[in-house]
A and B are shown apart, each in its own frame.
Chain A
Amino acid sequence: MSYRFFKYLFLIVILSRFAIANPEPATNASIAGFIRDRETNETLIGVTVFLEGTRYGTYTNKNGYYSITNIPPGEYTLVISSIGYERLTEKIRLSKGSSIRKDLLLKPLAITTEGISVEAERELEKREITISKVNIPVSQIKQIRIGGESDVFRSLQYLPGILTSSQLSSGLFVRGGSPDQNLVLIDGSTVYNPTHLFGFISTFNPNAIKDVELIKGGFQAEYGGRLSSVLNITQKEGNRNKFEGIASIGAISSRISLEGPIANGSWFLGARRTYFELIKAILPKDPESPIPDFSFYDVNAKISQDLGKNDKIFFSGFLSSDKLDYEGFGLSTGLDIGNRVGSIKWNRIITEDLFLSTNLSASYYYNNFQGDQSGYAFEIENSITDYTLKSSLEWFTNERITHKFGFESSKYTFQFLQNLTGIADSTTPTGNSGGGLTNLLIHDWNHSIYSQINYRLDDLTSLQAGFRVNYWSNSDILSFDPRLALRYQLTSDIALKGSWGIFHQNLRLASQNDFSFFDTWLPTDSTLPAASAMHYVFSIESTPFLGYDLNFDIYYKQLKNISELNNLIIEARTAKDVLLVGNAEAWGAEIFLQKKYGKLNGWIGYALGFISARFDSINNGQSFRPKYDRRHDLKIVVNYALDQNWEFGINFTFQSGQSYTGATSRFQTKLPGSTIGRGIVVPSQRFGLRLPPSHQLNFNAVYNYKLFGLDSRVILDIFNVYNRRDIWFRYYNTREDDTKIEDVKLLPIIPSISVELKF
């Protein structure tokens, strides 16, 4: 069935150019250009551009570019609208065969006006086919904080259907998928370890971000290599008109971001770092209880330049680093985790209806651990280096059809060096593993091509079809990923959407769920099949009241050959040694009511989810639900701007408790010569029981004021307002003869204050 379907889909995409698309009459005209913010001159994403009273319209792509083609000659009113900007209208005259370039500036609104925003939102929605796509305005992301830190991942965790392993982890479990199944992109480059504090918060500084887009399932053919979701983050380009900056001091870290014009473009530099080591320096030292050294930092940088009217070039950089050092009682350890990402992107408008984007990027993730116990030295170093060249060509064929073609070639280098022999300078040749020494260097290539078409069949129905072909050289796997999405406008306020797709993933992450201490990326080698998924998503998207979006999604996801870390491993030579492989299914429903703008904004989301996994080597081969499975998941986010000085926000979550494993009996094991030994419990069904429900309320208040004439803010955060100590995990303490069932609790109430200054 799937083969025939794939052939059909392939034909749709390839032949659409010849069979479906109406050739553009030479007499018709087109209009295209960039839309920018008038104050900063920065390009704007997702701005709706349409000709009033006609069906001709579009929205700006990730580069702020729009193109409307095949317009009959005549006089029109061009309307440009976007949330947070004044509506712009302009009379235009299109003559026969003309091709007009219209770069326009939108004026930001001091206060987001609901009427304009509603219109912009509606126009955008009408043209959006992609299913399960969520855009959270960056201003809202900044208002959701934990421990005084606003954070992208923490904000996304407040969406229905996105689960966590615990409050300590910012890892995103999207519709039953694990965090390594999410494609995390920053300016088009993959980020392999997007967390600080070993998973507590993400590496993305909200001050450096322009746009956050999450696709929870059924994503387009232009994205590949992951099974569950796409998180596409666009960094700020910087203010093209004037120099400005923001500095802030928070409980965990301080930040600064600077931006300004340079030559024919702009620059942006954002940085964030902790200062725990500075605080530690003034604390009294207790040699009996040494405090570990801990620090993290991240840096975002971007330069954009216009090379003439039709060419733009971007240089992006992103660095992050976490360090943890401990010294005491003859033991010294050091953990160093980081990302280095750099990219050059070139955008070219070939003709008004052809937009080319080419990106060359390098992404390096490393995780190094060294230790020494009274002269017994050990070290584990692992890294992944990814050089990627990708290019996409968007062809705004006519008012009904947009094509997108592209390729992506990645060269991966995986390095894994482990020396547990006790001798620091022990070496073994590359490719060897054994006797406590492992030195692996693996090269892999991945080549992908894709093609997708957005086809507006009539005024009510749109189709998005595409396919992606992937080839991985190391495992010699060729995979075909067809994707299909349909949109039908049922009434003016209700749209029905459906999506189906096949997804493949070659990279695997060996990681613990709760902490990202020793995260290791591995390629699928000849010992493992590639992981794959099939998504079925159906969605009803509506606007029941002015300014409110109400979406209802149901999904079913099949996951094959997914992996779990084998914690019992003694020595590894292949991916199969490190990972246990099995299948899973996830299904559920989500309801999401969102108000993006106005004095009162936020959302309420509820998800009902089921996950069932089956691994031959786990739970005696019987199916089980993973630890992070939560049946019910309710999230509420409310922000309220009282006046020009005061803003308030709350976010609340209520979820079914996490799963845990009970015990049905106990025995005692003693190694030779041991006098006490250790109590071991015999488990019941794996993760067959639930902990009490988790719930938590966080509150923040922001006071805006002028300090020496500069815009300033004081932010008060109260994490876990009513001090609900959720349970992290439950275990059986068998240290004594009486077995105790004990709960390890999560974080208590944490108030914090941070200060922000804009200059």
Chain B
Amino acid sequence: MKKNILLIILTLIFLNSCEDLPPDVYFPRTFVEGYLIVDEPINGIIVMRSMPVLDSFNYRQSLITDANVQITELSGDNGNLKYQLIFRDEPNQGYYYPDTTLKVKPKTKYRLEITLKTGEIITGETTTPERMQWKIPPRDTLYYPKDTINLPSPDSLKISWQPAPNIFFHLIRIRCLDTLNYGKYLNPPTDELNRRITRPWERNVRFYNDVTRWVGPLPASESPVVWTALKWYGLNEITIYAPDYNFLRWFIHNQRRSQYEPLLSSVDGAMGVFGSASSIKKVAFIVKNQP
């Protein structure tokens, strides 16, 4: 009898200690991603249905293309202005406002309202930051250091900008504009191809295949040229963003979290972000230091 009791206890312990396999259930959720950039048209508003984890993710298939998406400019000069957005696949996927002459205004409150075919309503609000300006923009040409180990960055390459009022954190985006060509931008042009700047630790990092590199949040209004932020030589666009709080929080989500975190979301009725930023940008050419 005692042996049987012991056996039952041990069996229960064993069973209770067993592994739980990852769940294979699927609960679809709606995700919204929208950024209004001051002085740029309204575009790239994404409405997405989350996909099963165990299926191969297909970005196009996950998009909800038949939603009613409206953006309202609140307290505009002529009262509230409503913009009806439509979906397009190219050149940038997402909902956009067809009149591309209409630009996002600084220091303005916008409201996003999405109605899905199922009747779900998703809303979000953002107030765009004021414009910002370069104080010392990046040079047109930057020579990547030959000393690829120590990567010195002289003070003369420092960039700085005049921050927008009440904006304390900035984001820097470096985007390679042409990952294929290099020589055609030289004077005289050559047929030399562009290539990645290789670093031993980078091959398995997130965003390896993305043409952009984001740095931040930067609690500063100046920065040296951080060479390790560059992914490709050649033509690169350096953009400084002054994000609102919604954009800033979602940026942290994007960089640090691989699981959805509701505390960083800024829309009601779904997961995601409706944020805004003002920005300044400059194109610079990164010269290879060695063949």
Say whether A287 contacts B149, CB under 8 Å.
yes
Say whether B16 contacts A664, CB under 8 Å.
no
* Known A289-B200, A741-B22; contact A329-B149, beta-carbon cutoff 8 A: yes
* Known A375-B158, A681-B53, A731-B258; contact A669-B200, beta-carbon cutoff 8 A: no
Say whether B27 contacts A665, CB under 8 Å.
yes
Tell me if B5 is interfacial: C-beta within 8 Å of chain A: no
B23 contacts across to A, CB distance below 8 A: 662-664, 684, 689
Say whether B22 contacts A617, CB under 8 Å.
no
Query: Which of A231-239, A242-250, A345-353, A415-423 lies at the interface?
Result: A415-423
Closest B residue to A657 by CB, please name it: B19
Complex: how many Å from CA A737 to CA B62? 12
Tell me if B209 is interfacial: C-beta within 8 Å of chain A: yes
B251-291 interface code vs A (CB 8 A; 1 in, 0 out): 11110111111111000000110000000000000000000
* Known A330-B151, A665-B27; contact A680-B258, beta-carbon cutoff 8 A: yes
A436-449 interface code vs B (CB 8 A; 1 in, 0 out): 11000000000000
Q: Smallest distance from the beta carbon of A463 to chain B beta carbons, Å?
A: 35
Say whether B260 contacts A682, CB under 8 Å.
yes
Tell me if B82 is interfacial: C-beta within 8 Å of chain A: no
Tell me if B38 is interfacial: C-beta within 8 Å of chain A: no
Tell me if A693 is interfacial: C-beta within 8 Å of chain B: yes
Say whether B226 contacts A570, CB under 8 Å.
no
B57 contacts across to A, CB distance below 8 A: 666, 668, 679, 734, 737-739
Q: Smallest distance from the beta carbon of A89 to chain B beta carbons, Å?
A: 43
Say whether B28 contacts A665, CB under 8 Å.
yes
Tell me if B195 is interfacial: C-beta within 8 Å of chain A: no
Say whether B210 contacts A666, CB under 8 Å.
no
Closest A residue to B250 by CB, please name it: A669
Residue from B16, B199, B241 in contact with A631 in the complex, judged by beta carbons closer than 8 Å: B16
Complex: how many Å from CA A735 to CA B258? 10
Query: Which of A317-325, A495-503, A670-678 lies at the interface?
Result: A670-678
Tell me if A28 is interfacial: C-beta within 8 Å of chain B: no
Tell me if A568 is interfacial: C-beta within 8 Å of chain B: yes
Tell me if B48 is interfacial: C-beta within 8 Å of chain A: yes
Tell me if A373 is interfacial: C-beta within 8 Å of chain B: yes
Label chain B's interface by main secondary structure.
loop
Interface residues of A in 352-386 (CB under 8 A from B): 373-376
Say whether B226 contacts A376, CB under 8 Å.
yes
A421 contacts across to B, CB distance below 8 A: 219-220
Complex: how many Å from CA A678 to CA B46? 14
Tell me if B218 is interfacial: C-beta within 8 Å of chain A: yes
Residue from A289, A435, A665, A675 in contact with B53 in the complex, judged by beta carbons closer than 8 Å: A665
* Known A436-B219, A664-B23, A667-B31; contact A737-B17, beta-carbon cutoff 8 A: no
Complex: how many Å from CA A567 to CA B264? 11
Say whether B214 contacts A376, CB under 8 Å.
no
Closest B residue to A693 by CB, please name it: B17
Interface residues of A in 389-429 (CB under 8 A from B): 420-423
A330 contacts across to B, CB distance below 8 A: 150-153, 226-228
A571-582 interface code vs B (CB 8 A; 1 in, 0 out): 100000000000
Say whether B264 contacts A568, CB under 8 Å.
yes
A668 contacts across to B, CB distance below 8 A: 48, 57, 59, 62
Say whether A677 contacts B224, CB under 8 Å.
no
A435 contacts across to B, CB distance below 8 A: 168, 219-220
Say whether A672 contacts B248, CB under 8 Å.
no
Count how many chain B residues have C-beta atoms less than 8 Å from C-beta atoms of the other chain: 85
Residue from A376, A654, A737 in contact with B56 in the complex, judged by beta carbons closer than 8 Å: A737
Interface residues of A in 458-489 (CB under 8 A from B): none
Residue from A329, A673, A679, A739 in contact with B212 in the complex, judged by beta carbons closer than 8 Å: A673
Tell me if A758 is interfacial: C-beta within 8 Å of chain B: no
Q: Smallest distance from the beta carbon of A379 to chain B beta carbons, Å?
A: 13
* Known A671-B214, A738-B56; contact A288-B200, beta-carbon cutoff 8 A: yes
Complex: how many Å from CA A632 to CA B154? 58
Say whether B228 contacts A374, CB under 8 Å.
yes
Residue from B173, B226, B252, B260 in contact with A373 in the complex, judged by beta carbons closer than 8 Å: B226
* Known A669-B254, A735-B206; contact A663-B220, beta-carbon cutoff 8 A: no
Say whether A663 contacts B259, CB under 8 Å.
yes
A374 contacts across to B, CB distance below 8 A: 151-153, 224-228
Tell me if B249 is interfacial: C-beta within 8 Å of chain A: yes
Tell me if B39 is interfacial: C-beta within 8 Å of chain A: no
Tell me if B132 is interfacial: C-beta within 8 Å of chain A: no
Tell me if A691 is interfacial: C-beta within 8 Å of chain B: yes
Say whether A657 contacts B17, CB under 8 Å.
yes
* Known A373-B226, A682-B50; contact A631-B19, beta-carbon cutoff 8 A: no
B1 contacts across to A, CB distance below 8 A: none
Say whether A693 contacts B18, CB under 8 Å.
yes
Say whether B17 contacts A631, CB under 8 Å.
yes
Complex: how many Å from CA A287 to CA B29? 47
Complex: how many Å from CA A756 to CA B275? 64
Complex: how many Å from CA A375 to CA B148? 15
Q: Smallest distance from the beta carbon of B289 to chain A beta carbons, Å?
A: 13
A741 contacts across to B, CB distance below 8 A: 22
Closest B residue to A668 by CB, please name it: B59
Say whether B50 contacts A667, CB under 8 Å.
yes
Complex: how many Å from CA A717 to CA B165? 62
Complex: how many Å from CA A321 to CA B253? 34
Closest A residue to B248 by CB, please name it: A570
A38 contacts across to B, CB distance below 8 A: none
* Known A677-B210, A680-B259, A692-B19; contact A434-B150, beta-carbon cutoff 8 A: no
B207 contacts across to A, CB distance below 8 A: 674, 676, 678
Residue from A420, A667, A693, A737 in contact with B29 in the complex, judged by beta carbons closer than 8 Å: A667
A661 contacts across to B, CB distance below 8 A: 259
Say whether A422 contacts B222, CB under 8 Å.
yes
Tell me if A683 is interfacial: C-beta within 8 Å of chain B: yes
Q: Smallest distance from the beta carbon of B138 to chain A beta carbons, Å?
A: 14
A738 contacts across to B, CB distance below 8 A: 56-57
Residue from B169, B219, B249, B253 in contact with A669 in the complex, judged by beta carbons closer than 8 Å: B253
Tell me if B211 is interfacial: C-beta within 8 Å of chain A: yes
Tell me if B76 is interfacial: C-beta within 8 Å of chain A: no
Tell me if A656 is interfacial: C-beta within 8 Å of chain B: yes
B169 contacts across to A, CB distance below 8 A: 436, 570-571
Tell me if B35 is interfacial: C-beta within 8 Å of chain A: yes
Tell me if A127 is interfacial: C-beta within 8 Å of chain B: no
Tell me if A490 is interfacial: C-beta within 8 Å of chain B: no
B53 contacts across to A, CB distance below 8 A: 663-666, 681, 732, 739
B193-231 interface code vs A (CB 8 A; 1 in, 0 out): 000000110000011111110100111101111111000
Q: Smallest distance from the beta carbon of A691 to chain B beta carbons, Å?
A: 6
Tell me if A331 is interfacial: C-beta within 8 Å of chain B: yes
B151 contacts across to A, CB distance below 8 A: 329-330, 374
B29 contacts across to A, CB distance below 8 A: 665, 667, 682
Complex: how many Å from CA A329 to CA B56? 36
Closest B residue to A727 by CB, please name it: B19
Say whether A671 contacts B251, CB under 8 Å.
yes
Say whether B22 contacts A663, CB under 8 Å.
yes
Say whether B62 contacts A667, CB under 8 Å.
yes
Tell me if A527 is interfacial: C-beta within 8 Å of chain B: no
Say whether B224 contacts A690, CB under 8 Å.
no
B214 contacts across to A, CB distance below 8 A: 671, 674
A-B contact pairs, 24 of them (CB 8 A): A329-B148, A330-B150, A330-B152, A330-B226, A373-B228, A420-B219, A422-B218, A422-B224, A435-B168, A436-B168, A632-B17, A664-B25, A664-B53, A667-B51, A668-B59, A669-B272, A671-B214, A672-B173, A672-B241, A674-B207, A681-B258, A682-B50, A692-B18, A732-B259
The 8 closest A-B pairs by CB, nearest first: A436-B219, A330-B151, A375-B224, A665-B50, A374-B153, A689-B20, A692-B19, A676-B210
Apart from the given pairs A632-B13, A673-B173, 11 other A-B contacts in the complex at a CB distance below 8 Å: A423-B220, A434-B168, A435-B219, A663-B259, A667-B31, A667-B48, A668-B57, A680-B260, A693-B19, A731-B258, A741-B22
Interface residues in chain A, defined as those with a beta carbon under 8 Å from any beta carbon in chain B? 287-289, 328-331, 373-376, 420-423, 434-437, 567-568, 570-571, 617, 620, 631-632, 634, 654-657, 661-684, 688-693, 730-732, 734-735, 737-739, 741
